[in-house]
Structure 1
Amino acid sequence: MRPLSKDLRERVVAAVGAGESCRSVAARFDVAASTVVKWSQRYRATGSVAPGKVGGHRKPVLEAHRAFIRERIDQTPHLTLHKLKDELAIRGIVVSHNAVWTFLRREGLSFKKNTVRS
Structure 2
Amino acid sequence: MTRPLSNDLRERVVAAVLSGESRRSAAKRFGISVSAAVKLLQRHRATGSVAPGKMGGHRKRVLEPHRAFIEARIRETPHLTLHGLKDELAGRGVKVSHNAVWSFLRREGLSFKKNAVRP
TM-score range, shorter chain: 0.7 to 0.9
Question: Counterparts of 1:87 and 1:19 in 2: how far apart (Å)?
Answer: 60
Question: Counterparts of 1:111 and 1:2 in 2: how far apart (Å)?
Answer: 42
Identity of aligned residues (%): 75
Q: Deviations over 1:14-44 (max 9, x none)?
A: 1111111111111212222111111111122
Q: Which runs of 5+ in 2 are unaligned?
A: 115-119
TM-score, L = length of structure 1: 0.84
Q: Which runs of 5+ in 1 are unaligned?
A: 114-118
One-letter code aligned to 1:59: K
Aligned twin of 1:72: 73
Q: Does the 8 A contact of 1:13 with 1:40 survive in 2?
A: yes
Question: Counterparts of 1:56 and 1:83 in 2: how far apart (Å)?
Answer: 31
Aligned twin of 1:28: 29
Question: Counterparts of 2:22 and 2:63 in 1: how far apart (Å)?
Answer: 49
One-letter code aligned to 1:90: G
Matched length: 113
Question: Counterparts of 2:30 and 2:83 in 1: how far apart (Å)?
Answer: 51
TM-score, L = length of structure 2: 0.84
Question: Counterparts of 1:111 and 1:5 in 2: how far apart (Å)?
Answer: 50
Q: Deviations over 1:26-65 (max 9, x none)?
A: 1212222111111111122222211111111122111221
SS at match of 1:8: helix
